[in-house]
Chains A and B, each alone.
Chain A
Amino acid sequence: MLRKIFRNQLSAVPPGLVFVYLFVAWAPSLMAQTAAMGALTGKVTDPSGAVVANVTVTATSADNSQTRSTATGTDGTFKLDGLPAGNYRVKFEAAGFKTVELPSATVNGTETAVLDTKLEIGEVGNAIPVNKPTAASEENLPNAPSSSTTPPSLQDLGFPAEQSQGNAQEQALLDKRTHMLKIHQRLGLITTIPLIATVATSLNAGGKSTSTTSRDLHTALGAVTGDLYFMSAYYAIRAPRVPGTETRGPIRFHKAMAWIHGPGMILTPILGAIAFEQKSKGEKVHGIAAAHGPVAIVTAGAFGAALLSVSVKF
Chain B
Amino acid sequence: MKKTILPFALLALSTLAIADSQWVLQQCTLTYHVSHPLHQSEGVSHAARGKGVCHAGQCDFLIAVPVKSFDSGDSNRDIHMVQVTRGAEFPMVVVRTRLPESDATSATINADLEIQFAGQTAQYKQVPFKLVTQGGETHLTGTIPATLADFKIDPPSLLTMPVKNDIPVRVEMTWRPQ
Q: Give A residues with C-beta under 8 Å from B.
A: 62, 87, 90, 102-106, 108, 111, 113-115, 130-135, 137-138, 141-146, 148-154, 156-159, 163-168, 170-171, 173-175, 177-178, 181, 185-186, 189, 242, 245-251, 254, 310-313
Contacts and interface: CB of A to CB of B under 8 A. Distances in A.
29 contacts: A105-B126, A113-B110, A115-B126, A130-B121, A131-B122, A133-B119, A134-B121, A135-B94, A135-B116, A137-B121, A141-B98, A141-B114, A144-B98, A145-B96, A149-B55, A149-B56, A152-B51, A154-B94, A157-B51, A163-B68, A163-B92, A164-B92, A170-B89, A171-B86, A171-B89, A189-B159, A251-B77, A310-B158, A311-B38
A154 B61 CA distance: 11
Interface stretch (B8-16, B132-140, B149-157): B149-157
B123 A130 contact: yes
B75 A145 contact: no
A158 B141 CA distance: 24
Interface of B: 20, 38-41, 49-53, 55-56, 58, 60-62, 64, 66, 68, 72-77, 79-80, 82-84, 86, 88-92, 94, 96-99, 110-112, 114, 116, 119-128, 145-147, 149-152, 158-160
Contacts of B51: 152, 156-157
Contacts of B75: 245-249, 251
Given A115-B126, A164-B92, 19 more contacts: A104-B122, A106-B145, A113-B125, A130-B121, A131-B151, A131-B152, A132-B120, A143-B97, A143-B98, A144-B96, A151-B62, A151-B96, A153-B62, A157-B62, A159-B92, A173-B88, A174-B82, A242-B79, A249-B77
Contacts of B124: 102-106
Main secondary structure of the interface of B (DSSP, over half): strand
B98 A154 contact: no
B98 A103 contact: no
B114 A135 contact: yes
Given A171-B86, A185-B159, A246-B75, A113 B126 contact: yes
A170 B123 contact: no
A205 to B, nearest CB: 30
B64 A313 contact: no
B114 A248 contact: no
Most buried by A among B74, B84, B149: B74
Nearest to B94: A154
A182 B68 CA distance: 21
A234 B68 CA distance: 27
A312 B39 CA distance: 7
